Chains A and B, each alone.
Chain A
Amino acid sequence: MKVNLTIDNIAVSVDEGSTILEAAKQVSIHIPTLCYHEDLCVAGNCRVCVVEQTGTNRLLPSCAMPVSEGMDIHTNSLKVRAARKQVVELLISEHNAECTRCYKNGKCELQELSSEYILGDNGFIDLIPFKKYTIDNFSPSIIKDDSKCIRCQRCVRTCTELQSISALTVAHKGKEMKISSFYDKPMYEVVCTNCGQCVNRCPTGALTEKIYIDQVWEAICAEDKHVVVQTAPAVRVALGEALGMEPGEIITGKLVSALRRLGFSAVLDTDFTADLTIIEEGNELLQRLTKVLKDGDTSVKLPMTTSCSPGWVKFIEHTFPEYLDNVSTAKSPQQMFGALAKTFYAEKLKIEPENIVSVSIMPCTAKKFEADRPEMQSSGYKDVDFVLTTRELALMIKQAGIDFLSLPDDEYDSIMGQSTGAGVIFGATGGVMEAALRTAYEVVTGREVPFKNLEVTPVRGMEEVKEATIKLENVLPKWDFLEGVELKTCVTHGLTNAKKVMEAVKSGEANYHFIEVMACPGGCLGGGGQPIPTNLQIRQKRTEAIYQEDRLKAIRKSHENPEVQKIYEEFLKEPLGAMSHELLHTHYTVRNRQ
């Protein structure tokens, strides 16, 4: 049913149940918002989105108020402007507004709003001296600065609705009310997975990633250091957004160019180790299937889950520790890369590993934590020294004065720079599963996976939980025990959905062989380190770009990557072999639930 109303004297007709904010958007009227976020339920607490309804004294929160027939709304009346200005003044009075020192300077929603409502110096009393604000910068991934918080609760809703973790909560009331972890402990001591989804949605500088830009500059400028950089699949479809481009543009060539100009000694690709992950993880799956289905070994666990999302790994360590044996022992592509950079790569180039600084560009804040795990030193050194988010890289590019948009395309360096379409799609939800199936199916049957153009469509897209069952027929003799077996797979993204899947596994309701979990909505392309803003539409654009990149690749199956084949010949010898075990596999830690 349609509802008719006027907004700023413009007639508009919208579906029943729409909000005034949505209706205004239809007629090109922008109403400012702070607590509202498309990915989250409506909170209605910041009150900057208020509008006037003729005949009503009180203003209405447009984000929360459904339209009704005959409404006469004014979004820019004197009363509205005066009220909004005072609301912004109030927020600023409680806020440590030191924009010139702030990471969010120029990218901050509060700052933007205050620039629209020139506040002048006739403001309210500065409340900062009355507050005991703290900054938590103990986590390797996330900094929480309470003095920049406007209490919009976007982070709390993100952590609860999208991630089901509720590491963040609202604590106390009245003037003491604040965003807090359990007992206000440092974020690294609590159930936070470092996924950064809250960071991605925080309108201010209250939640940011921990920045390692200066350390990376230092390494680049150090004479004796060989600084290698790897780039995750999802970065190449999103970086452009932070540098003035539209969502969904593929900028791989420019990305490589820019990194080279920044002064990295070698520009390499995480996609290469993504392909390697597929070989190791695919073989692990086949090995588990063999042990369970053929040898009847009950100590081996199925379903096997993926392990490349560090947010997911930390989540399962906290929440389902009894399932740690189900997690693939294969390291994430980032960490495989790190381990090889200071061993295989160092040997090849005859560089002392201690002189290699290994940097990664990731769509993810949890990757910073992952690189810091004590077990991630299998090269004898810290395998990955510094992890930068897509956003930090964008800032470095600006700092270096690089005009990104006009950069020529460039190619990755070789050894550990070559990749396939299967590696690229790691960046989207379902990508790991699709890549694994492209390889595993072929290993078992000798034939290509039975989908047109190798596109395993059932595992693609934004559906919460995707399932695909693939029947194995006419298998090669080695795999005869798999003949006729229906391989049951499940793909999910966002930890709320992951929790649902794990609960179904726990209750015995779900019966999968292989589960792919990405902690972030949409997969890595929706990661916590990606450009801000994010919403479903943007994530879909990035997804399309990723699949486009896959389609354009000459080689689209991980096991056909020549560099991968070569590294097994020359260095690793065989999948799941001794060398792989030492460098490419890991173990997990049971964590508490506070």
Chain B
Amino acid sequence: MSAVADTHNQEHHHGPAKGISRWLLTTNHKDIGSMYLIFSFAMFLLGGSMAMVIRAELFQPGLQIVQPEFFNQMTTMHGLIMVFGAVMPAFVGLANWMLPLMIGAPDMALPRMNNWSFWLLPCAFLILVSTLFMEGGAPNFGWTFYAPLSTTYGPPSTTFFIFAIHIMGVSSIMGAINVIATILNLRAPGMTLMKMPLFVWTWLITAFLLIAVMPVLAGAVTMMLMDINFGTSFFDASGGGDPVLFQHVFWFFGHPEVYIMILPAFGAISHIVPAFSRKPLFGYPSMVYATGAIALLSFLVWAHHMFTVGIPLAGQLFFMYATLLIAVPTGVKVFNWVTTMFRGSLSFEAPMLFAVAFIILFSIGGFSGLMLAIAPADFQYHDTYFVVAHFHYVLVPGAIFGIFASAYFWLPKWTGNMYDETLAKTHFWLSFVGMNLAFFPMHFLGLAGMPRRIPDYALQFADFNMVSSIGAFMFGVTQLLFLFIVVKCARGGEKAPAKPWDGAEGLEWTVPSPAPYHTFTTPPEVK
């Protein structure tokens, strides 16, 4: 059939257009959600292969595989791609798919902008990844790109990196506006704010965080751009500028950013745990308030990343207290999940396995966060592998396991087929073992004194590094299994009913599986 006829078809809203134009021009939240998820997984593999390079070099002492310059490019690109390419787009993908289904809306509120905010992303990452092939190499100053290493001393490709960050920021802000507009305007009649599913709540709060801090990041990179290309001295001490200012601005973005990467996972886990415990979520209102409290406090703790830069004592104390405080609402969330499980009727399908691992391992990351919050102790931990262990414990079993749990939970709804449970459990156990083998020893390395971001290390660190590398390879290879499971599920399998999980609640389970191309064209009634 010709393309002309296809477009015609679409105008009559019988279903998706055929061919490439379906994906390029689509305004359908399900198509866009799928594209986000696929893009994010591709970036996960790319960022992951860079991690493999890092772990291969660190497998034993000495320089074997790469030179220090390239090693620094790998750590930088790995961090940037995982944060901006894998984790954030995955959550936007989940939001696109699930928010309209959860609140009974026909689509996102701003569908054309939705299309645009997705398609900006591949452009941004094309630019970012292309810097690897430029003269002088890719950015090599860490994902935190501290000035003046990234300005006066940065490679020529830094300007492209700045451009890429700008485009990602625009995409994120548009995505966030869309989420807020959808949630505030398109809820089904009867769905008051305090009846909203938790994934909707956490995404609403995340979207506000995004709108608040992405412009700050844009400001930081714009000042860098000026310093590099137009002779200003925002961050250049020899021109009267202030390198520490960079860190304040960066972390004012950076700390809320880490919550941007975890709050939507909190939401998803709050659906999955009750579903497989066959028991309502414990403490719904306190979950909502805790999320709000975390979001507000996240603006007041940024300098806990800067305890060693020499901020005055009073500042140091303030940021220590505020950081300790943020552990309270975080604790409340964990206690609520555990109490939800308590005296439930538990079963352990793949989503639940990932969710339970999420709770345990994320808590371990929270504990190390608490330790890092003690400012005097942070003088010993800061910029060592202990910090690397901390943020990988909150991001891998936190954000990434949260995404896997969500994917398995909603795959039947997306594809209409059940995934292969045995393979999914295998995926879980291999990921679980690999991840702990990779990241737990990093605590020991950091405490024993190994700095982060080094391509080679003293001999006393050799053993744990080797263990860590083996775990990392195991975790890395296992993710190909996930790809296989999803492809297999999309192509066929046991047919899924509208509600494949007997304990699940919510509007998304009232539509058939797979969810039709258009859902809730007339809003459902929520009692």
Q: Decide whether A and B assemble into one complex.
A: no
